[in-house]
Amino acid sequence: MLTTEDFKKQIEVLSNGKYLSYDEGKSAFEYIMTGNATDILISSFLTSLKIIFINSGISHDLIAAGADIMREKAIKIKASDDTIDIVGTGGDGHNTLNISTATALVISGTGIKVAKHGNYSASSMSGSADVLISLGINIKNDISNVQKCLDECGICFLFAPKHHSAMKHVMNVRKELHFRTIFNLLGPLSNPAFVKKQLVGVYDKSLLMPFAKALKKLGSTNAWIVSSDNGMDEVTTTGKTFGVKLLNGKLSEFELEPKTFGIDEVKIEKLKGGDPNYNAKKIMQLLNGEKGPFRDIVKVNAICSILASGLTNDVKEASEMVTKSIDSKSALEKLNLLKQVSNT
């Protein structure tokens, strides 16, 4: 176990512009998340990390180290290796509709298991937790019920505060600092179901490769990490999407455009969201078959989720699966079942 003096020396290393190794990072996050560090030391650590990340770029070893400790301390559920998470960092500032949450429901309707990790909104009007509450889902049920949802519905919502109680040790400092810290990056990497397959959206394309390398280090087998040219943490229909793919231990970069999926490019204004009730209404309209820009972007993200899962490599086949999930009302049925089971 790290001592206070050891932790201070690590802060000094960071303040001198040098990265910590993966193992050193793990010991630092272990020290913080067991409640040993004072708020002043945590603030110094996070601020030093922020400066070195700005000057030298994100260290995939350090974000993997932080996520590893968060996973170790999480209240876990069991998920099969074919389970996927569709999640974003948030913080893109666009206040769009809840695209990844709608995508998770559509993917569930195809028969793929989904363990969706999320929280209340940190920057937009409606985060995944907010909109699911408006849809009638009980997000604060006990862990056994979360497990039951995944087992019986094929989809569950992992409400971050319920699973990551160790985050209480950094809560006050994060509120006081008023800038993004490394903890803003760890959520998408810290799924308590330890899923090995992910579609992860990030708010800046400079994060693509560090996230991909971190997920590889954490044991993911299939992952797509994506960011749009306007900073959306989704596969976008508003322009170009940049991505890094993890498959069979290898990383490769790619680019996508709406025409890749036979979809017209749209202005981002067509995807603007509102409060949780408004966004929930839009999801219900989508699941009841309404066509338009929201359906298009959810469809694109669902196709990419299927491709990321490794179930098929064929865009046309994935597209047909997604269309069937929506038009047959399978996705709507999954929502209704999740609503029922989460409230029992």
Per-residue pLDDT tens digits for 156-208: 999 999 999 999 999 999 989 988 899 989 999 999 999 999 999 999 999 99
* Residue (of 145, 114, 26) closest to 308 by Cα position: 114
pLDDT range class, residue 59, cuts 50, 70, 90: very high
The predicted-structure confidence for 270-292, as pLDDT tens digits, reads as follows 999 999 999 999 999 999 999 99
Residue 125: pLDDT band by 50, 70, 90 thresholds?
confident
Asked if residue 91 has pLDDT above 80, the reply is: no
Q: What is the CA radius of gyration of the chain?
A: 19
**CA 100 – CA 39 distance, rounded (Å):** 34
| Higher per-residue pLDDT: 143 or 126 | 143
Least confident of 9-18, 43-52, 117-126, 325-334: 117-126
What stretch(es) of the chain map to CATH 3.40.1030.10? 84-163+180-342
What is the Cα 208 distance to its own chain's centre? 13
Name the residue among 279, 326, 280, 285 with its Cα closest to residue 135.
280
What mean pLDDT is predicted for residues 224-241?
A: 96
Residue type, position 193, single letter: A
Average pLDDT value for the chain: 95
Query: Cα–Cα distances in Å, from 130 out to 106, 192, 280?
Result: 18, 20, 9
Going by pLDDT thresholds of 50, 70 and 90, the confidence category of residue 120 is: confident
Tell whether domain 84-163+180-342 is in CATH 3.30.360.10: no
- Average pLDDT estimate for 103-127: 91
Provide the percentage of residues in the chain whose pLDDT is more than 70.
Answer: 99
Instruction: Return the H-helix or E-strand segment holding 2.
Output: none
Please enumerate in sequence order all residues whose Cβ is within 8 A of that of 248, keeping only pairs 6 or more positions apart, or say none: 221
Residues 89 and 150: their CA atoms lie apart, in Å, by 23
> Residue 141's CB: how many other CB atoms inside 10 A?
19
Q: Does 317 have pLDDT greater than 80?
A: yes
State in Å, rounded, how far the first CA of the chain is from the last one.
42
pLDDT at 123 over 70: no
Rounded to two decimals, what is the model's pTM? 0.95
User: CB neighbours of 188 closer than 8 A, spacing ≥ 6?
Assistant: 85, 87, 88, 89, 117, 198, 200, 201, 202, 211
**Contact criterion met (CB below 8 Å) for 173 and 105:** no
Q: Name 264's Cβ contacts closer than 8 Å, sequence gap at least 6.
A: 237, 258, 296
Distance from C-alpha of 87 to C-alpha of 174, rounded to nearest angstrom: 21
What ranges in 221-343 are assigned the alpha helix state H?
276-287, 293-309, 315-327, 330-342
